[in-house]
Amino acid sequence: MPMEFFGQESDQGRQGDAAVVDFWVWWARTRPQVDALLEADDASGAGELLASAVAAVDPGLVAEITPGREALRSLVVSCDGDPELRPLAHRWARAAPPPDALWEFHPSRQASSHPADLVLEVDGREFALGKLVLGLRVPPGAPRMDISAYHPIFPDLGDEDRAAAAFLALDRLIGEDEVARWIGDVTAATAPPIDAVPAIYLPTMVADLAAEHQGEQWALLTGQTAGGAPLVAATRYPLRPVDHPLFDRHIAITLPYAERDADGLPAGDAPEALRAFEERLTTRLGDTALLAVHMSSEGNRVLHVYADPSTDAVQRAEDVAETWTEGTPTVESTPDPGWLVVSPFLT
């Protein structure tokens, strides 16, 4: 059967890759100057150099110098909570030189090894994590934890500073990626929440929550299209871009199926044919991409795949699509670093 293909390479993606290469060329040339500034206790001077270089990669990225886990220092380039920039931060880290005795590199803020002793500065005030308390709520069956955070300095801070301090504390307690993975709504409160617990216990509580959601699961959902037609969707659960930070290319594969019921949903031999196609697809994609969601309605199944654009995942998807014989399949590939196409299914 004839097949239609859509999509093109992203200029923004190519520019981001080039900017990452430029940064590491700059780093090789400028690192001695950065080291000299830090050895002279001029952290602000080193920070200004790095901030300018990282802004050239993308103005939304944030650079931080922190104590390293293995090396003396850690250079962190964070997306600062912006999921659209997380893939770029991870590509920055993937292109980094090997760590040595002085430097290691991370694409997100790392958890502190001694959070109870950590004192940060917020709006000129001391922000000791040992004094932070949390109210915690896990909705039944949800893979996320809602948090109400309180610190004695919070009543004296504005709303934005208070919220920023709460998120910064969570990053230091469990790591920025774990916050994106397990933390839901966050409220920076001006009064202690009921049944508050010391924030230093958060890593243990998150580990318990993670233990309840191990292994691959799929959730089946029903609904309607914008035109009111019945729709059935299956989604990975939990479904989180942070688990696959380099998979920022969306591939939509549309398969028309010949046998359908009165609601336009697969019937007869169609369910088995679609299942067999998905098995072929996931086998062929391997570790280059992830089948995230599939949706069936009005005689078509749309498979939403997220792929690493540095691989040949699109070509692999096109190769498998050619095996579909019940209608004319289409394959469309577009950049989607925030997984916006499947945002209703994110957990």
Q: What is the pLDDT of residues 15-66, one digit of tens each?
A: 678 999 999 999 999 999 999 999 999 999 999 999 999 999 999 999 999 9
Query: Within this chain, do residues 221 and 338 fall inside the same structural domain, yes or no?
Result: yes
Query: Within this chain, do residues 70 and 122 fall inside the same structural domain, yes or no?
Result: no
Tell me which residue range forms the domain holding 80.
Answer: 4-106
Q: Which domain-ending residue is among 41, 75, 106?
A: 106
Query: Within this chain, do residues 66 and 98 fall inside the same structural domain, yes or no?
Result: yes
Model pTM score: 0.89
Query: Within this chain, do residues 131 and 205 fall inside the same structural domain, yes or no?
Result: yes
pLDDT computed for residue 2 by the predictor: 39
Q: Which domain-ending residue is among 153, 183, 211?
A: 211
pLDDT computed for residue 16 by the predictor: 76
pLDDT computed for residue 6 by the predictor: 42
Query: Within this chain, do residues 250 and 337 fall inside the same structural domain, yes or no?
Result: yes
Query: Within this chain, do residues 221 and 341 fall inside the same structural domain, yes or no?
Result: yes
Query: Within this chain, do residues 142 and 100 fall inside the same structural domain, yes or no?
Result: no
Q: Which domain-ending residue is among 196, 211, 226?
A: 211
Query: Within this chain, do residues 99 and 193 fall inside the same structural domain, yes or no?
Result: no
Confidence bin at 176 (pLDDT 50/70/90): very high
Confidence bin at 14 (pLDDT 50/70/90): low
pLDDT computed for residue 113 by the predictor: 87
Domain at 269, CATH number: 3.30.70
Query: Within this chain, do residues 20 and 46 fall inside the same structural domain, yes or no?
Result: yes
Query: Within this chain, do residues 62 and 80 fall inside the same structural domain, yes or no?
Result: yes
| Mean pLDDT of the region 235-262 | 96
Name the residue with higher pLDDT: 17 or 174: 174
User: Which of 87, 106, 77 lies closest to 17, judged by CA?
Assistant: 87
Q: Give the start-end residues of each E strand in the chain.
A: 4-7, 62-67, 73-78, 103-106, 119-122, 125-128, 133-137, 145-150, 183-188, 197-198, 217-224, 230-237, 249-256, 289-297, 300-307, 330-335
| Mean pLDDT of the region 251-267 | 97
Query: Within this chain, do residues 238 and 268 fall inside the same structural domain, yes or no?
Result: yes
Task: Give the count of domains, the chain.
Answer: 3
CB 233 within 8 A of CB 297: no
Query: Within this chain, do residues 260 and 326 fall inside the same structural domain, yes or no?
Result: yes
Per-residue pLDDT for 261 more than 60? yes
Give me the chain's average pLDDT, please.
Answer: 93
Per-residue pLDDT for 13 more than 70? no
